[in-house]
Chain A
Amino acid sequence: MALRATYRESQGITVVDIGGRITLGEGSALLRKTVRELLEEKRTLILLNLADVDYIDSSGIGELVSAYTGVKNRGGTLKLLHLTKKVHDLLQLTKLFTVFDVYSDESTALSSFR
C-alpha cells in the first residue's frame, strides 16, 4: 500500500497522520517531503502518528532518523505516536527506541511537548 500523509494542528503541535508502508522509493520520499514542507512552514514541533504504518524497511528507518535529526537541527522536536507491533519491534531491535520519544496516547504525547 502506498504511503499517505496528512497533517493537522493540535495544541500548537503538528500531528502528521501517516498510513501505508515506509519503504525505499515513494514511501520514504513522501515522508521526507512532508517533513521538509513542515520545516519550511516553521512547524518544528512534530508528532508522527504511525498508527496505520504496517511496514517499514531499513530505508524507512533511515528516513525516520533523518526526520528526527532534521527537526532537531532546526531547534524543534519530533516524537512518535501509536507504533504498530512490527514498527515497535523494529525500533526496539535497532535500538532506536532509546533515541525516539514514543507515545501510545495522543493527549499524553501532546502534553509532553510543553
Chain B
Amino acid sequence: MSQDTKHLEITLETQVESVNLAEEMCLRVAEAAGFGEDDCYRIGMSVREGVINAFHYGNEERPDKKIYLALDLTPEKMIIHVLDEGKGFDLNSVPDPLAEENLLCTSGRGIFLMRAFMDEFKVVPGRTGGAEVIMSKKLPSAQHSGNNGKGEQKTESESKGA
C-alpha cells in the first residue's frame, strides 16, 4: 500500500445497527476528504446498501458471522470494501430492478443504487469465501471538469458484471 494511502478498517456485527454505524463512519471520512454534500449522500447510501447486502444476503442475518468494512483514501479516490462471510454471489444473476416485471419487487435495488452512486463498483470473491463489494469515488480534487461526481464513470469490470 502506498504511503499516501490512508487505511481504516472495522469489523461489524451482523446486526441492523451496523448499517448506521458503517454509514456514519464513512460519512466522516468522506467529509474530511472534502466531498460535498451530494457526494457524501451518495457515498453514505452506497455504504448502507453494501452493508445491508452483507447483513441480509451474505450473512443471512446470522449473528455468528461478521462484516468487514475497509476504507482506503488515496490521493485520487476513496475506496470502500464490504466483505461478508456468506457464500458469495454472481453479479450477473442479480435481476434488473428497472425491468417492468421487477418494479414492484420489495427488494433487489441495493446493487443498482451502489452502481448508480459510485464511480466504480465490482463484486469479487472475498478471503472469507463470501462476497466482497469494492466501490470507489474520485476525490473532488481529482475529478475532471466533465464529471461532477454523479457516477458517470464505470470500470471495465463493472460493465462486464464483475
Residues of A within 8 A of B (CB): 23-25, 57-59, 61-63, 65-66, 68-69, 86, 93-96, 98-99
Asked if A99 and B16 sit within 8 Å, CB to CB, the answer is no
Residues of B within 8 A of A (CB): 16-17, 19-20, 41, 45, 48-49, 52, 97-98, 103-107, 109-110, 112-113, 116
Neighbour of B109 across the interface among A24, A68, A94, CB < 8 A:
A94
- A-side contacts of B98, CB under 8 Å: 94-95
Asked if B48 and A57 sit within 8 Å, CB to CB, the answer is yes
User: In the complex, what's the smallest C-beta–C-beta distance from B1 to chain A, in angstroms?
Assistant: 31
* CB-CB under 8 A for A62 and B41, given A25-B16, A57-B49: no
* CB-CB under 8 A for A59 and B104, given A24-B16, A25-B16, A94-B98: no
User: In the complex, what's the smallest C-beta–C-beta distance from B32 to chain A, in angstroms?
Assistant: 21
Neighbour of A24 across the interface among B52, B106, B112, CB < 8 A:
B52
Asked if A65 and B52 sit within 8 Å, CB to CB, the answer is no
Asked if A65 and B105 sit within 8 Å, CB to CB, the answer is yes
Neighbour of A58 across the interface among B52, B103, B104, CB < 8 A:
B52
Neighbour of A25 across the interface among B19, B97, B109, CB < 8 A:
B19
Asked if A66 and B16 sit within 8 Å, CB to CB, the answer is no
Neighbour of B52 across the interface among A59, A63, A68, CB < 8 A:
A59
Bound: A94/B98 CA distance, A = 6
Known: A23-B19, A59-B107, A99-B104. 10 other contacts (CB 8 A): A25-B16, A57-B48, A58-B52, A59-B52, A68-B104, A69-B106, A86-B41, A94-B109, A96-B103, A99-B103
